[in-house]
Amino acid sequence: MNIYLAGSADTSHDVENFEKIVTIIERSGSKLTQDWLEPAKKRIENGSEISNWKAFVSESIAAIKRSDIVIAEVSNQSFQAGYQIAAALEFRKPVLILSTQPLDDSYVSSYEDTFITSVTYTHDMILARAVSDFIQQNTIHTKDLRFNMLFDARIYNFLEERSQETGISRSDIIRDLIRKKIERK
């Protein structure tokens, strides 16, 4: 599974939490779509800043698009983490939001979306369980898959008419047709 790790590592303590998450991700057999943690560690050690924000943001967005899921560590709440989460949701990526601090009455906790899961962790066992469970729940063979289809007007009109006649959604009509075809084989 391809995973984007979102957040902002500004201190060595932040890096520690991110390293724990990376270890859990790697143990699951998954891989990161972007390894920004090592450059962040070097910036912290050198006391330097990101030199090209435009390239950084562009690379982050591309990595989010390539991911299957996004795991965001937001204990150090930042605009950057919020922006990455918003981008992930725009691309319909499931997002696990992790924090060492309760997120009650925060902007993040008030956002209702079926693609968001939030977990507050107080020790490594809770963190490991949350990340592992989220990866497992979003593994392709354990969930329904989505994709887009293009239809010509004739097919669209057929589906629309059938949907109106039967009260069944266009998606369910297509699924039923495919299931019937599979059962005939």
The helix or strand, by DSSP H or E, that contains position 50, with its residue range, turns out to be none
The reply to whether 90 falls in a domain is: yes
Q: Determine, yes or no, domain membership for 147.
A: no
Residue 110 pLDDT > 80: no
Quick one: pLDDT at residue 3?
97
Q: How many domains does the chain have?
A: 2
Tell whether 75 is covered by a domain: yes
Provide, for the chain, the percentages of residues in helix, strand and coil under a 3-state DSSP scheme, each rounded to the nearest 5: 55, 10, 30
* pLDDT of amino acid 107: 66
Residue 148 lies in a domain: no
Q: How far apart are CA 95 and CA 111, in angstroms?
A: 12
**Is residue 18 situated within a structural domain?**
yes
pLDDT at position 145 is: 67
109 and 78 inside one domain: yes
CB atoms within 10 A of CB 95: 25
- pLDDT tens, residue by residue, 46-68: 888 888 889 989 999 999 999 99
Residue 124 lies in a domain: yes
In this structure, the answer to whether residues 69 and 122 fall within a common structural domain is yes
Identify whether residues 93 and 20 lie together within a single domain: yes
Residue with tokens 């891989």: 31
Identify the sign of the CA torsion 22, 123, 95, 49: negative
Output the pTM of the full model: 0.74
Could you tell me the end-to-end alpha-carbon distance of the chain, in angstroms, rounded to an integer? Answer: 31
Residue 114, token pair as written in the block: 């079926």
The predicted model gives 143-150 an average pLDDT of 74
Tens digits of per-residue pLDDT, 116-146? 999 999 999 999 999 999 999 998 765 666 7
Same structural domain for residues 44 and 127? yes
- Residue 106 belongs to a domain with what CATH number? 3.40.50.450
7 and 69 in a common domain: yes
160/76 same-domain check? no
**Residue 23: inside a domain:** yes
User: Is there a single domain that holds both residue 127 and residue 95?
Assistant: yes
Residue with tokens 């008419």: 161
Count helices and strands (H / E) in the chain. 8, 5
Which residue in this structure is represented by tokens 């950084």? 56
Distance (Å) of CA 122 to CA 57, 93, 125, 130? 30, 26, 9, 12
Residues 110 and 42 in one domain: yes
Q: What is the mean pLDDT of residues 159-163?
A: 93
Domain boundaries, position 89:
2-142
